[in-house]
């Protein structure tokens, strides 16, 4: 047995979530919110459009860093949550590899990216593919810009294989090698050691 | 997201002479093959091509992963090593599975009449597919 993402996704999408008076949803051991993907895409698009060309790499790195820091702390909340323990953990038989499979199933169920693991070299390298992700919506150019998936993938891999939380940050990096937003049939992301 | 740009030629596609997609296309062109999926052990469809008349390829991928996990457990229980090949026929389909690294390649066809040819032609392509994943 290993984590079967189909079951995880089906179980998780059936969980009813309600927000509090501040618009925050207390689930999975974290506080999340629900905003239209167009909000995030417009935000990224506008901030990049107004950035001087020479500062664009730094801005892109900052966007990735935002996703990475969020992914590391939120990801820890998710994999230690009661929901994860009840839905995913019973299927975990291959240690960190299965926890990662479960994490990407959650990632999919939440609508961030229909994504999963292609290959893992434990503690060394991970290849992720995403066949549908909101950052590719309304794509207009030839640049790869799945900053969120890059940051989150790095964070998840560190949670699985780096030093125990919260001391495992800064050990890995993620490169996007393919992107739906620039004409590839899927997005592909490779996490490696820094 | 299905409306995402498909016209733009990707730089990554230009730079690579052959990809996993090319190999999947090649397998799918073998007479008798309807669909090819590469699926992770968790049922994530890494890549797919073709179609099944009565189902979709996400369902096929999840079903293959589930079956192979069971078969792998059986192999471990019987101490007969890792799974190397699975072939199953139904009234309206035949499905073959091969390990591709940590993933599984599933090939679906209408019946077993072209089985020999499919086996022969995939024999070289499956190891090659592993190189591109």
With cut-offs at 50, 70 and 90, classify the pLDDT of residue B28: very high
As given in the structure block, the two tokens for residue A15 are 């969980």
In angstroms, the CA B28 to CA B30 distance is 5
Q: Measured between beta carbons, which residues in chain B are less than 8 angstroms from residue A178?
A: 10, 12
Segments in chain B forming alpha helices (H)? 11-15, 20-28, 57-77, 115-131
Chain B within 8 Å of A150 (Cβ-Cβ)?
Answer: no
Quick one: pLDDT at residue A171? 97
**pTM for this one?**
0.87
Whole-number Cα distances in Å, B62 to A175, B4, B41: 28, 25, 9
The architecture in CATH of the region A2-193 reads 2-Layer Sandwich (3.30)
Q: Measured between beta carbons, which residues in chain B are less than 8 angstroms from residue A10?
A: none
Is the previous residue joined to B120 through a cis bond, with omega within 30 degrees of 0? Answer: no
SS3 B55: strand
Q: Using CA coordinates, name the residue in chain B closest to A101.
A: B42
The answer to whether the Cβ–Cβ distance between A134 and B73 falls below 8 Å is no
Max distance between CA atoms of chain A, in angstroms, equals 51
Quick one: pLDDT at residue B11? 41
The answer to whether the Cβ–Cβ distance between A178 and B12 falls below 8 Å is yes
Judge whether residue B4 has pLDDT over 60. Answer: no
By the 8 A CB rule, do B126 and B100 touch? yes
Q: What is the pLDDT along chain A (194 residues), one digit of tens a residue?
A: 789 999 999 988 888 888 899 989 988 888 888 889 999 999 998 999 999 999 999 999 999 999 999 999 999 999 999 989 999 999 999 999 999 999 999 999 988 999 999 999 999 999 999 999 999 997 767 789 999 999 999 999 999 999 999 999 999 999 999 999 999 989 999 999 99
In angstroms, the CA A132 to CA B78 distance is 40
Quick one: pLDDT at residue B5? 38
Chain A within 8 Å of B74 (Cβ-Cβ)?
Answer: no
CB-based contacts of A43: which residues, under 8 Å, 6+ apart? none
pLDDT digits (tens, 9 = 90+) for B72-98: 999 999 999 999 999 999 999 999 999
With cut-offs at 50, 70 and 90, classify the pLDDT of residue B16: low
Q: Choosing among B5, B61, B77, which should be mutated to test the A contact, i.e. which has the most A CBs within 10 A?
A: B5
The architecture in CATH of the region B18-130 reads 2-Layer Sandwich (3.30)
In angstroms, the CA A161 to CA B12 distance is 29
A111 sits in the region (left: phi over 0; alpha: psi -120 to 50; else beta) called: left
As given in the structure block, the two tokens for residue B102 are 């940590």
Q: Using CA coordinates, name the residue in chain A closest to B73.
A: A1
Whole-number Cα distances in Å, B57 to A70, B37, B43: 33, 7, 11
Q: What angle do CA A56, A58, A60 make, to 5 degrees?
A: 70
Chain B within 8 Å of A13 (Cβ-Cβ)?
Answer: no
Whole-number Cα distances in Å, A89 to A8, A38, A170: 10, 33, 26
Q: Measured between beta carbons, which residues in chain A are less than 8 angstroms from residue B57?
A: none
pLDDT digits (tens, 9 = 90+) for B94-113: 999 999 988 999 999 988 88
By DSSP bridging, strand B33-39 and strand A30-32 are unpaired
Q: Using CA coordinates, name the residue in chain B closest to A91.
A: B42
Whole-number Cα distances in Å, B21 to A103, A114, B26: 26, 18, 9
Domain boundaries, given as residue ranges, for chain A:
2-193
Chain B within 8 Å of A35 (Cβ-Cβ)?
Answer: no
Which of B4, B7, B47 is facing A180, going by the closest CB pair? B4
By DSSP bridging, strand B93-100 and strand A113-121 are unpaired
């Amino acid at each position: 047995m290993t984590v079967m993402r189909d079951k995880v996704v089906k179980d998780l999408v059936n969980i009813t979530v309600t927000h509090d008076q501040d618009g925050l949803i207390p689930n999975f051991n974290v506080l999340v919110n629900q905003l239209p993907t167009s909000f995030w895409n417009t935000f990224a698009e506008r901030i990049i459009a107004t950035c001087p060309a020479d500062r664009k790499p730094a801005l892109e790195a900052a966007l990735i860093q935002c996703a990475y820091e969020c992914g590391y702390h939120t990801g820890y909340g998710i994999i230690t949550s009661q929901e994860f323990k009840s839905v995913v953990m019973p299927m975990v038989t291959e240690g960190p590899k299965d926890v990662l499979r479960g994490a990407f199933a959650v990632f999919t169920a939440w609508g961030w990216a229909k994504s999963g693991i292609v290959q893992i070299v434990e503690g060394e390298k991970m290849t992720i593919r995403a066949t549908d992700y909101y950052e590719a919506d309304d794509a207009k150019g030839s640049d790869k810009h799945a900053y969120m998936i890059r940051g989150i993938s790095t964070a998840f891999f560190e949670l699985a294989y780096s030093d125990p939380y919260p001391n495992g940050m800064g050990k890995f990096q993620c490169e996007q090698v393919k992107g739906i937003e620039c004409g590839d049939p899927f997005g592909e992301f490779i996490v490696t050691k820094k | 997201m299905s409306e995402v740009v498909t016209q733009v030629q990707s730089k990554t596609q230009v730079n690579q002479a052959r990809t996993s997609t090319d190999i999947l296309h090649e397998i799918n062109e073998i007479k008798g093959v309807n669909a090819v999926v590469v699926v992770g052990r968790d049922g994530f469809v890494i890549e797919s091509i073709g179609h099944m008349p009565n189902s979709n390829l996400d369902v096929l991928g999840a079903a293959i992963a589930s079956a192979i996990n069971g078969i792998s457990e059986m192999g471990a229980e019987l101490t007969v090593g890792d799974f190397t090949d699975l072939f199953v026929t139904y009234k309206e389909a035949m499905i073959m599975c091969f390990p591709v690294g940590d993933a599984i390649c599933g090939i679906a066809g209408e019946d077993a009449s072209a089985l020999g040819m499919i086996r022969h032609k995939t024999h070289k392509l499956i190891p090659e597919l592993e190189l591109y994943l």
